Amino acid sequence: MRAERIQLIEELIEVGRDAVSRGLVLASGGNLSARLSEDRFIVTASGTWFDRLTRDDFCEMTLSGEVTEGSPTPSSEWRLHQRAYAARPDAECVIHLHPHHAVVLASLGHPIRLLTLDHALYVGSVGVTPFYPNGSDELADSAAEQLREHDCVIMQHHGCSVVGDTVRATYRRALNLEDAAKATAL
């Protein structure tokens, strides 16, 4: 494995463990990816649990949807990542989690308020999509459309997708999104 690919996978593994410990995802819900080049990215495999990720739990794909490296089947949500990268050439990472507060607020039609400097800085603005089935083209397309204008999108009754220029910055954005949602719910 190339050194850059290994480093990105290690960072995603760390995010996965932390996201589970914070209750932002359960079992095999959610998925993680990082861009490798203009037309390639790595994404977690189908059925992988965030707190048990290993280097073998990632596969490499092209933006056209072909698996190029790695034996596991990609996450059923690979289109969510693929379309995000296509919509946002500046995105180097996509994190898809299921944060309870953010999802509940968006599903009830309540906007998330950005109450702190960190919320404003890291989240910026939040897009919302209606519910579509997991892994569907409609879900991937609607999320990508929102990501053209926002770094965070909440998919009603489902989860969020967050983009950024590094794995750590993207995860920090996701953490601040859920923190803003908790503060809004108070």
pLDDT tens, 112-158? Answer: 999 999 999 999 999 999 999 999 999 999 999 999 999 999 999 99
CB atoms within 10 A of CB 77: 26
Q: What percent of the chain has pLDDT over 70?
A: 98
So what's the pLDDT on residue 1? 59
Sign of torsion over alpha carbons 41, 103, 184, 153: positive
Q: What is the mean pLDDT of the chain?
A: 96
Low-confidence spans in the chain with pLDDT less than 70: 1, 70-71
Q: Enumerate residues 6+ apart whose C-beta is below 8 A from 186.
A: none
CB atoms within 10 A of CB 105: 23
Sheet containing strand 31-37, edge to edge, reads 67-69, 58-62, 40-44, 31-37, 93-97, 159-164, 152-155, 126-129
So what's the pLDDT on residue 116? 97
